[in-house]
Amino acid sequence: MNQDTPDTNNLPVSTDGPQQCGDFNIRIDRNGIWYYQGSPINRLGLVKLFSSVLSQDATGNYWMTTPVERGTIEVEDVPFLAVELSIENPGPDQTLNMRTNLHEIVTLDIDHPLSITINPETDEPSPYIMVRDNLKARLTRSVYYEIVELGVEETIEGENLFGVWSTGDFFPLGSLDEDGE
C-alpha cells in the first residue's frame, strides 16, 4: 500500500446512530405550510424530501432523522392535509383514496383509518387519516363534507353509527345514539 494513502480501516465510525442536533427550527402550521426560520419553504420537492425523513415518537414529538443528524421540528396540528378525495367502485364495495398536500395517495383502510377529534371548546370535529409511521393528515373541510355525503347508518355491536365503507371495512364518523354510547 502506498504510504500517502490513509488507512481507512482504522477510522472511527459512530455506531450510535444520528447525532442529536436539537431543534431544526422547522415548523409546520395548521394549514400544512412548512417554514424554516420563520420563512415559508416554497419548494415542494424540498418539503417532500423533509417529509420523507419525518417521524413522531410515542410522546408526540416530531423528528427529522437523516443518516447523520436527528432533530425536532414543531408541528401545530399534524404534518399533512388530505386535500382531495377519489372514489373507486362507488357503492358498498368502494375504495376511498385521499391525496395529501404533498401528493401522497392514502387509501382509507384498516392500516390507514379515520379518527375524529372533537374540539371541547367549539364541539367542531377534526377528522384525520393515518398516512404512515404514526403521521396523520387532517381532512380539509371539503374532503370531510364529501366523506359525510357518502356516509351510511350501521348498527355495530348494538351501537347506531354513521360512517363510511372503504376496502370492505366500516369507518365510523360518529354515534347516532343520543348519549353517544
108: CATH: 2.30.270.10
Quick one: pLDDT at residue 3?
52
For residues 97 and 47, membership in a common domain is answered with no
Helices marked H in the chain: 44-52, 141-149
Mean pLDDT of 153-160: 92
For residues 84 and 171, membership in a common domain is answered with yes
Quick one: pLDDT at residue 16?
56
DSSP line for 68-106: SEEEEEEESS-SEEEEEEEEES-STT-EEEEEETT--EE
Quick one: pLDDT at residue 180?
47
With beta carbons less than 8 A apart as the criterion, state whether 95 and 115 touch. Answer: no
For residues 110 and 39, membership in a common domain is answered with no
Quick one: pLDDT at residue 5?
46
Quick one: pLDDT at residue 13?
38
Which residues, 6+ apart, have CB-to-CB distance to 9 below 8 Å?
none
Question: What pTM, to 2 d.p., does this model score?
Answer: 0.83
For residues 97 and 163, membership in a common domain is answered with yes
Tens of pLDDT, residue by residue over 47-97, are 999 999 999 999 999 999 988 889 999 999 999 999 999 999 988 799 999
For residues 65 and 128, membership in a common domain is answered with no
15 vs 32 pLDDT, higher one: 32
Mean pLDDT of 14-24: 70
Please count the structural domains in the chain: 2
Quick one: pLDDT at residue 23?
83
For residues 60 and 41, membership in a common domain is answered with yes
For residues 65 and 93, membership in a common domain is answered with no
Domain end, chosen from 75, 96, 116, is at 75
Quick one: pLDDT at residue 176?
87
In a domain, 21, yes or no: yes
In a domain, 33, yes or no: yes
For residues 117 and 161, membership in a common domain is answered with yes
In a domain, 3, yes or no: no
Domain that holds residue 162: 80-175
Tens of pLDDT, residue by residue over 96-141, are 999 999 999 999 999 999 999 998 888 888 999 999 989 999 999 9
In a domain, 24, yes or no: yes
Mean pLDDT of 12-17: 47
